[in-house]
A and B are shown apart, each in its own frame.
Chain A
Amino acid sequence: MTKSRWKYFKQHKWLYLMLAVPIIFVLIWNYWPMYGVVIAFKDYSPAFGILGSPWVGLKHFKRFFHSYFFGNVMINTLRVSIYSLLVSIPLPIILALMFNEIRIKWFKSTAQTISYIPNFISVVVIVGMINFFFGTQNGAINTLLSAVGLKQIDFLGSPAWFPHLYVWSGIWQGVGWGTLIYTAAMSGIPQDQYEAAYLEGATRLQCIKNITIPAIMPTIVISAILATGGIMAVGFDKTYLLQNASNLSTSEVLSTYTYKVGIINGEYSFSAAVGLFNNIINFIMLFVVNKFAQKVGETSLW
């Protein structure tokens, strides 16, 4: 028994030696600083350091939960992020499948390259363009609307429109980039599978359904699980820049709210408490979705 274990280890020692490298990196830069989460339960001050600052228990959590806007902020955050997940998980897959079916090589690579470009444009410029397109006064879209005799829409100032603006501008910017991982997965599919299918008279759609999708399924599942693990994270920069007094009732999300209460006033403990709350919810989500994936399919995170 021990002998076979020794033999196993001898044969596979490299697996563990390799794994040691990322583990060391993670231990130093992720686990070592982790004691810092305690500042969520303290009144952190640089004068006393992290360990020396006084304990205050759940004070910061209470402050957050009892805030007038707590419920509103939570709902806004979930609304935007769930909406975003529902759209941003399937669309890159569909687009990647469409790219994959293009037969003309130059067209394919041109379209793909162009689709990645918006990913590199700074959020500040993106928001500038959103304002330009969707403004009520001389905005491109509203000019068009009134030209065809329709009523103008206050896209930027209306709480109802904020989630759409946020999510779809994100899609506009990121969908092409999001196809990358699927394109890579698809390029690993052996060509002979398609050839065999064609010989048997399968149509294109059948090939997609029976060959391509099953082949990239594990990648889809894993990306989806990881994405739900970020459910509470709504990007700060774009939200903050798109936010204004008139759409505040839907655009105030956790990150912007924490910024206003905590960061501006240098209250790191408060921000840390909100961050911790955030992460616990994310982690629970990840666990639940992963369990679900384990039950339904074969793929899961661990």
Chain B
Amino acid sequence: MKKLWKSLALATSASALLFSLSACGSNGNKSSGDEKDGKSVTILTEDHSDVRPKSKDLWMWKEYEKMSGVKVDWTEVKDFGEKKNLLLSKKELPDAFYQTIWTNDEVVKYGTQGIFQPLEKLIPKYAPNLNKIMKKYPDVKKAMTTPDGHIYSLPYLSMDPMSGGRTFRLYINQKWLDKLGLEVPKTTEELKEVLTQFVTKDPNGNGKADEQGWYMNSGELPNSFEKIIDAAYGLDTAGRTAIDNMIYLDNDKLQLTVNSDKMKDVWKYENDLYSNKLIFKQAFAGVDSDKWVADASKDVVGLWSWVSPEMIGEAVRDNYTPINIIEGPNGDKGLVSQPPIMGTSAFMITKDAKDPKELLKWVDYFYSEEGSEFGFLGKEGVTYHVVDGKKVYVDKILNYDKGAQLGSYQYMNNVYAGFFPYLELPQKTKEEAWGEKPIEYTDFTDADVPKQLLPDFMSTPEESSEISTIMTDMRNYVEQARVKFVTGKWNFTTDWDNYVTQLNKIGADRLLKIRRTQYARYQKN
């Protein structure tokens, strides 16, 4: 007994000692921010100190403080998603939220309730750069305007469809194509033929039939691969975000994707691939991304799909050729892209901000060409050099032990998490900056970009509470149905009608009606 208490007492005193040490440590580096010429704002952002220095120590922010004359008092929050609603319940809010993730529903809700300030009147005067973009691209303004006609948040923009992860594409194993003397497939028909040869003719030459056709971690199939097939069957007429929201445009009329006959054709095609073992057997269950990357390093992956090639690992990424466009049997094709306005919650000014104009001015710089270059490349001579007319990061970034991209995070604030209030640079400029040879895409033209790329619509609070249940239930049901159709457990001739009936029970009609209302409102903005 005594011993037990003794050891407990020992543990306590030891930990008390440790704690007092840590207390000293944290007090030491607390710098009291003395303001120089008055202009000082408080901004809350996500904590990224696992990959880069704290905002107050980051080169770019120190530099921008000199340039703008505004002193920013940064608050950084880890696990923002879990905490955001708690943070709002505080009496005093920071002046602004920078690069944090909020859904459109939340933006509307908190805007209407007065937590975020409406900015539409201030933008023309105090955010000239953003205003110029909104004039030039009306879609940007449409996507930001809430049902009550306000703008509560600023966007993250990427005008280049190849940049910022806007576009899904297929990556096909070029080594195998070369070995078998095949061309890069251009149609769904050719794709099937190529995959058949992949899995039957041992292109990796190890004598084992371990080659896979399309292979990625389970659950990924509907996210990227299926959307590319959607495009070949005419469901990509309003872009990738619309497909996520289960809608597309059929001759300018808004329709649901999931109960259309085109969806049936997409699943029939997938079922054809699956039953011929051209889609990985465990596509729906049991493979996590660790295992996929491990397998991919052994050259067994014929085809996969994502927005950029790095996912599959440094060792094999160069084996793959990107395919942007696959044409379907009826000649349908298109780029599977998100709209240029990739996020709407990049910057919000709260009710407690005393000087919203100053904040707008501060952030607007990054919507200019100069500002977006500064945000990504930094300053010439400090963080980048010009080599043969190309802007390339300096050696200390390029030679950073975890790669150039993480190296650049040590100076600039461009960690991809949440949305920047920022104009994304073209992909080519970025790749040159990292010292890479830019990837040239030759398989698509501007005509392949869907004419209308619909964003996530802004819902009224009533709409959003109705939609969220219907969408959750529909997603659940569609997910289950997809597996059954694709793996052949359900039959297209006998089970399709029942599937459509069930969707209606869940509220497909209601959803379509709401979506159409929202679309009409969007067009009017």
Contact = CB atoms under 8 A, between A and B. Distances in A.
Q: Do chains A and B touch in the complex (CB under 8 A)?
A: yes
- Chain B CB within 10 A, most for which of A127, A136, A246, A265: A246
B120 to A, nearest CB: 20
B284 A245 contact: yes
Contacts of B181: none
A244 B88 contact: no
Contacts of A47: 88, 110, 113-115
The secondary structure that dominates the B interface is helix
B207 interface: no
Contacts of B480: 245-246, 248-249
A128 B476 contact: no
B113 A245 contact: no
A137 interface: yes
A164 B514 CA distance: 41
Given A244-B218, A260-B472, A136 B282 contact: yes
A145 to B, nearest CB: 15
A68 B480 CA distance: 14
B219 interface: yes
Interface in B292-315: none
Contacts of A267: 465, 468
B132 interface: no
Nearest to A48: B113
A154 interface: yes
Given A131-B288, A244-B219, A261 B282 contact: no
Nearest to B221: A245
A268 B291 contact: no
A49 interface: yes
A63 B291 contact: no
B270 to A, nearest CB: 13
B318 interface: no
A134 B472 CA distance: 29
B472 A157 contact: no
- Chain A CB within 10 A, most for which of B290, B476, B506: B476
Nearest to A72: B476
B331 interface: no
A137 B288 CA distance: 13
A46 B85 contact: yes
A69 B477 CA distance: 9
Interface residues on A, range: 35 or more
Interface stretch (B101-109, B168-176, B257-265, B435-443): B101-109
B469 A244 contact: no
Given A46-B89, A47-B88, A248-B480, A135 B468 contact: no
B483 interface: yes
Given A45-B110, A156-B282, A245 B482 contact: yes
A135 B285 CA distance: 8
Given A48-B113, A246-B483, A265 B468 contact: yes
Interface in B247-299: 280-282, 284-288, 290-291
Interface string A253-276: 000010011000111100000000
A127 to B, nearest CB: 8
B115 A246 contact: no
A68 B88 contact: no
Given A67-B473, A245-B479, A265-B468, A154 B288 contact: no
- Chain A CB within 10 A, most for which of B218, B472, B479, B480: B472
A245 B483 contact: yes
B101 to A, nearest CB: 11
Contact of A157 (B282, B477, B482): B282
A252 to B, nearest CB: 7
B396 interface: no
- Chain A CB within 10 A, most for which of B109, B288, B468, B507: B468
Contacts of A155: 286
Interface in A221-264: 244-249, 252, 257, 260-261
B477 A137 contact: no
B506 A248 contact: no
B479 A248 contact: yes
Interface string A30-54: 0000000000000001111100000
A260 to B, nearest CB: 5
Contacts of B390: none
A260 B476 CA distance: 10
A257 B477 CA distance: 13
B505 interface: yes
A246 B285 contact: yes
A257 B506 CA distance: 15
A132 interface: yes
A139 interface: yes
Given A46-B86, A67-B473, A131-B291, 9 more contacts: A127-B288, A156-B285, A245-B222, A245-B482, A245-B483, A246-B284, A246-B487, A265-B103, A266-B85
6 contacts: A46-B88, A134-B286, A135-B286, A137-B281, A156-B285, A157-B284
Interface of A: 45-49, 63, 67-69, 127-128, 131-132, 134-137, 139, 154-157, 244-249, 252, 257, 260-261, 265-268
